A and B are shown apart, each in its own frame.
Chain A
């Protein structure tokens, strides 16, 4: 018996090397894509570009309002999506038993994640704007205030879109908290809610944060749903309003206004502006900013998750 016989599987070696080459070609291609964006975009990046408004029919100036709009929309989106998603995950993991209903809920969460983003746009238009918004307008008699595309409904729609991301990461985080910790808490006489609040949630916090970060990065990069939910080509003013209580005024995001959106800005400059070649540096600059934003968020999420798994692995 020759156990130490050297293999002479030539076709096998060839195939393995093909797979290896495909993999590294892929990585190289992705690297080229990033390098292209970086090299073409870095030239225009400056403090003025980040903070200024577009000028001269979009051909000069910066992308300040688009960045502000993106931050405003994702901020409100997080306010809606994270509590809802985290609570839903707590219910599914901590309270619900494996019944037909919970299985239906889990399936619908998975399916919600697979619905095309443009369909979320249709949903936002049909439900939030024409049903809820028009409904509010009729009840409050505010004329046409909420029954039109605006920041609030774009955020709400994106919140529904990222809901599965928040739920799935929170579920994973809750699931990884060992059962023995819960039992120890019950053994000390804690109730279910006390156990969740004092034992489970503190340990799951990094996982929940990971989900939130991933949701923000997804929301900031989505373009299709905001196309007809209030993203604007150009707005002279930021979507803010002064909220006054007595004499004391603070500037707040105004959810009833339209907004500029970084991802939409790239799309509109590249396809529908009067002169796409002149604005090409601006397009690359905006792309670089958007991709830096999403990459930083995603890398943070990956590092968080990696550390979280390491800590949980030790327990």
Chain B
């Protein structure tokens, strides 16, 4: 009781302190010298400036991406990023969706690239959701607590595998295996890249799923068992619905990561800008396009600005996905006070 009192008292006292000033006289009636007050204030502002830097950097990314990317619109135009009307010899006009920025007749359609990104990211997210959520459930509900102590770090360890390593393995091992078993249209294809991406996204989804299921209070489990439910009934009808928002946020974050991943798709997806829905054909994603072409392009050309425009599209997509996940997680936190 006594402890509680002191705690509430200090809390109110601290909150009474004005935010940016140090009083000339301390709470205990002792004088604080001007030098101390100035020094404290300087230190305060020094840290504040550093804190603002994170904000500054995301603003700068925003500014420089959009500054360069929007200049693409001056020369290329928004519609040219969607289609190109090709006039044939006999004056008939055919509408094509192609990404050929280096040909004499430059075509800048982003459609094949966006489809390429989706064709790798969506299968990867589906595979990773099934496996990742299962792994998360196992860690949070089924594994014994002692085993969890080292199984969870082990899963997180795999999230730290450099993506270039996974791309490399997909190229030298995965491609051959896939070729033997499924006989794909192209040796390097969207499905192979999706498998590689899954290695990155499964740990993300598993780890976040485990977090959100673990944060559900034990009362709910006990209440469910008390009503005679079995373990699986508790998991499927109590725990998963209670942790639904957390799990869905993890899937959204995983999808965002899959869209933004570069090295795996650059090495395993084949890099041919096919307009296709065949998952076993080579595709070219937005990220791989930037990675492959930015090194060779001359600064200030249309092609250069077009690559920044792809950057804008990528940035916007991932930004929206991250924001959505954050909103869901914040809502869950408010609701899950139980």
Enumerate chain A residues within 8 angstroms of B315, measured Cβ to Cβ: 115-116, 119
Chain A 90-134: CB-based contact to B (< 8 A → 1; otherwise 0):
111011110000101101111110111111111101110011000
Enumerate chain A residues within 8 angstroms of B22, measured Cβ to Cβ: 191-192
Q: Is the interface of A mostly helix, strand, loop or mixed?
A: helix
Q: A12-B230, A191-B40, A270-B171 are in contact. Are A223 and B263 (CB under 8 A)?
A: yes
Chain A's closest residue to B57 (CB) is A160
User: For the complex, is B68 an interface residue (Cβ under 8 Å from A)?
Assistant: yes
Enumerate chain B residues within 8 angstroms of A192, measured Cβ to Cβ: 22, 40, 43-44
Binds B, one of A26-34, A51-59, A135-143, A238-246: A26-34
Are B51 and A280 interface neighbours, CB within 8 A?
no
Enumerate chain A residues within 8 angstroms of B319, measured Cβ to Cβ: 111, 114-115
Q: Determine how close the nearest CB of chain A comes to the CB of B46; give it in whole angstroms.
A: 7
Enumerate chain B residues within 8 angstroms of A115, measured Cβ to Cβ: 58, 61, 260, 315, 318-319
Q: Bin the interface of chain A by size.
A: 35 or more
Chain B's closest residue to A223 (CB) is B164
Q: When A and B form their complex, what is the total count of cross-chain residue pairs whose Cβ atoms lie within 8 Å?
A: 256
Q: Determine how close the nearest CB of chain B comes to the CB of A215; give it in whole angstroms.
A: 12
Please measure, in the bound complex, the distance between the C-alpha atom of A26 and the C-alpha atom of B261, giving whole angstroms.
21
Binds B, one of A71-79, A200-208, A247-255, A288-296: A288-296
Enumerate chain B residues within 8 angstroms of A91, measured Cβ to Cβ: 47-48, 50-51
Please measure, in the bound complex, the distance between the C-alpha atom of A65 and the C-alpha atom of B256, giving whole angstroms.
34
User: For the complex, is A199 an interface residue (Cβ under 8 Å from B)?
Assistant: no
Chain B 12-56: CB-based contact to A (< 8 A → 1; otherwise 0):
000000010010001010101000100110011011101111110
User: For the complex, is B134 an interface residue (Cβ under 8 Å from A)?
Assistant: yes
Cβ-defined partner of B256 (8 Å) among A114, A130, A271: A114
Enumerate chain A residues within 8 angstroms of B163, measured Cβ to Cβ: 221, 223-224
Most-contacted residue by chain B among A116, A120, A167, A189 (CB, 10 A): A116
Enumerate chain B residues within 8 angstroms of A45, measured Cβ to Cβ: none
Enumerate chain B residues within 8 angstroms of A189, measured Cβ to Cβ: 26, 28, 30
Most-contacted residue by chain A among B28, B130, B230 (CB, 10 A): B230
Please measure, in the bound complex, the distance between the C-alpha atom of A97 and the C-alpha atom of B267, giving whole angstroms.
46
User: For the complex, is B287 an interface residue (Cβ under 8 Å from A)?
Assistant: yes
Most-contacted residue by chain A among B43, B162, B266, B295 (CB, 10 A): B162
Cβ-defined partner of B322 (8 Å) among A11, A37, A110, A193: A110
Are B47 and A116 interface neighbours, CB within 8 A?
no
**Which residues 277-331 of B have a CB within 8 angstroms of A?**
287, 290-291, 294-295, 299, 307-308, 311, 314-315, 318-319, 321-323, 326
Please measure, in the bound complex, the distance between the C-alpha atom of A20 and the C-alpha atom of B53, giving whole angstroms.
45
Chain B 113-154: CB-based contact to A (< 8 A → 1; otherwise 0):
000000000000000001100110111001100000001011
**Which residues 16-52 of A have a CB within 8 angstroms of B?**
16, 18-20, 22-23, 26-27, 30, 33, 36-37
User: For the complex, is A176 an interface residue (Cβ under 8 Å from B)?
Assistant: no
Are B50 and A88 interface neighbours, CB within 8 A?
yes
User: For the complex, is B273 an interface residue (Cβ under 8 Å from A)?
Assistant: no
User: For the complex, is A298 an interface residue (Cβ under 8 Å from B)?
Assistant: yes
User: For the complex, is B79 an interface residue (Cβ under 8 Å from A)?
Assistant: no
User: For the complex, is B64 an interface residue (Cβ under 8 Å from A)?
Assistant: yes
Are A163 and B54 interface neighbours, CB within 8 A?
yes
Enumerate chain B residues within 8 angstroms of A83, measured Cβ to Cβ: 50
Enumerate chain B residues within 8 angstroms of A12, measured Cβ to Cβ: 230-233
Are B164 and A266 interface neighbours, CB within 8 A?
yes
Enumerate chain B residues within 8 angstroms of A130, measured Cβ to Cβ: 299
Q: Is the interface of B mostly helix, strand, loop or mixed?
A: helix
Enumerate chain B residues within 8 angstroms of A37, measured Cβ to Cβ: 165, 169
Are B263 and A114 interface neighbours, CB within 8 A?
no
Are B51 and A96 interface neighbours, CB within 8 A?
yes
Chain A's closest residue to B39 (CB) is A193
Please measure, in the bound complex, the distance between the C-alpha atom of A242 and the C-alpha atom of B136, giving whole angstroms.
53
Cβ-defined partner of B65 (8 Å) among A119, A224, A271: A119
Q: A92-B51, A122-B65, A224-B291 are in contact. Are A217 and B232 (CB under 8 A)?
A: no
Please measure, in the bound complex, the distance between the C-alpha atom of A109 and the C-alpha atom of B235, giving whole angstroms.
34
Are B260 and A20 interface neighbours, CB within 8 A?
no
Chain B 260-279: CB-based contact to A (< 8 A → 1; otherwise 0):
11110011000000000000
Q: A119-B260, A126-B308, A163-B54 are in contact. Are A227 and B291 (CB under 8 A)?
A: yes
Enumerate chain B residues within 8 angstroms of A266, measured Cβ to Cβ: 164-165, 168
User: For the complex, is B182 an interface residue (Cβ under 8 Å from A)?
Assistant: no
User: For the complex, is A237 an interface residue (Cβ under 8 Å from B)?
Assistant: no
Please measure, in the bound complex, the distance between the C-alpha atom of A12 and the C-alpha atom of B225, giving whole angstroms.
14
User: Which B residues have a C-beta under 8 Å from some C-beta of A?
Assistant: 10, 19, 22, 26, 28, 30, 32, 36, 39-40, 43-44, 46-48, 50-55, 57-61, 64-65, 67-68, 130-131, 134-135, 137-139, 142-143, 151, 153-154, 156-158, 160-165, 167-169, 171-173, 199, 202, 230-233, 235-236, 253, 256-257, 259-263, 266-267, 287, 290-291, 294-295, 299, 307-308, 311, 314-315, 318-319, 321-323, 326
Pairs of residues from A and B, 7 with the lowest C-beta to C-beta distance, nearest first: A116-B260, A12-B232, A221-B162, A91-B51, A87-B50, A114-B322, A91-B47
User: Which A residues have a C-beta under 8 Å from some C-beta of B?
Assistant: 7, 9, 11-13, 15-16, 18-20, 22-23, 26-27, 30, 33, 36-37, 83-84, 87-88, 90-92, 94-97, 102, 104-105, 107-112, 114-123, 125-127, 130-131, 160, 163-164, 167, 183, 189, 191-193, 214, 217-218, 220-224, 227-228, 263-264, 266-267, 270-271, 280, 283, 287, 290-291, 294-295, 298-299, 302, 306
